[in-house]
Structure 1
Amino acid sequence: MDKNQLGVQYMQEGNWEEAAKAFNDAIEENPKDPVAYINFGNVLSAVDDDEKAVKFYQKAIEIDEHAGAAYYSIGNVFFTQDRFTEAKKMFETAMKKGLESSDNFFMLGLTLVQLNQGKLALPYLQRSVELNEHDAEARFQYGLCLAQLELIDEAILQLEKCIELDPDHSDAFYNLGVSFAFKETSVKAIEMFNKALEIQPDHLLAGHAKKLIENNL
């Protein structure tokens, strides 16, 4: 097994120290391999050393300006720092460099939502779901975006698929409840709010929404 593969295995096990050693060895063996720098950056990011992580991603880009994964990783750092405009630019650049991954489309969509550009976000969230049909969180965010644009029937479809994939997704049940309430299907809405509260008894929004509907019945 090569050092990069070994490092990835250590990362999957949460063994950051050994992962860092493996990627460091990979860099020493082949200093012109951008993948090793990206992987080392991912370890640093995982242990919250974002500043150093970005330097490794930038080094990868210096070696290969078409290293889409490096732009994607910098975008993730910017997203967690609420630097959404810069994150958007990085995810878009990753896409232009040929990174056609569901994760990149998902993060670009999510970033556009944060920038209040739901209409622009929609096709990226849709593409993310098309590329990875089993990603419950992508389904949820896609459904949420559809609901915010008042495409309620389409939103319900995605939120229902989300709970098929993740039956404990309380926020999906809550938003299904809101969607059914919007369609004035009160019984179904209350059923969804109850389900959200069953999973998460302190779900304040679900509790409040349920009371509102019950008081108006």
Structure 2
Amino acid sequence: MAKLPRRKCKSCGQWFHPSRGGQIVCSYECAAAYGKVQTEKARQRAQQQEKRKRQEEARADRQQTRARKLALKTRNDWKREAQAAFNRYVRLRDAGQPCISCGALPAPKFGGTMDCGHYHTRGARPWLAFNLHNTAAQCVRCNRDKAGAQKAFEQGLIDRIGPDKVEALNCNNTPRKFDIEYFKRIKSIFTRKVRSLERRRACHQEAA
């Protein structure tokens, strides 16, 4: 019988002449060592597969939990979240500008000293709650303690956006009722706007 061509041992790396086809190790010692290595590799693969399985199950659980929470959200929940995203954008848009009513500059205070003020209040004209012309950064004192300081707010808007746009706000008397899908869009739009504005400002600060 012809001698089989030599090959390299899968365990020790030495060249040897196999005594039978399919032999991949040169000795019993190397066979035992190679078997241990393969057993360890199989154990690690099994652990990785189990880890991936747990991660997939956890991801599925999170998705189900998120879906359940979304299903339980009411119209008021979506409205509140949409308003929060919108207000945050307005405060960020007007960051560093003085109060629209009294002209006070924002104080360097934790949590901020500026609100998103509404010229026509959300209670009086809720259909203008998400109108960017109807809103501006307003100090907490004017917005909360002075009932919005409406006359001063109006003059501040006239100076900032012009009398025609303010008059358009004053003439906007047609009520609108927003549904959940509208609130979802508002939240999504202004969340993206906030992120974009934050990124741009971070880039400007780095460049400076």
User: Above 0.5 in TM-score?
Assistant: no
TM-score bracket for the superposition, by shorter chain length: under 0.3
TM-score (norm 2): 0.20
Question: Greater Rg, structure 1 or structure 2?
Answer: 2
Q: Which has the higher contact order (CA 8 A, sep 6+)?
A: 2
Q: Select the structure that is richer in strand.
A: 2
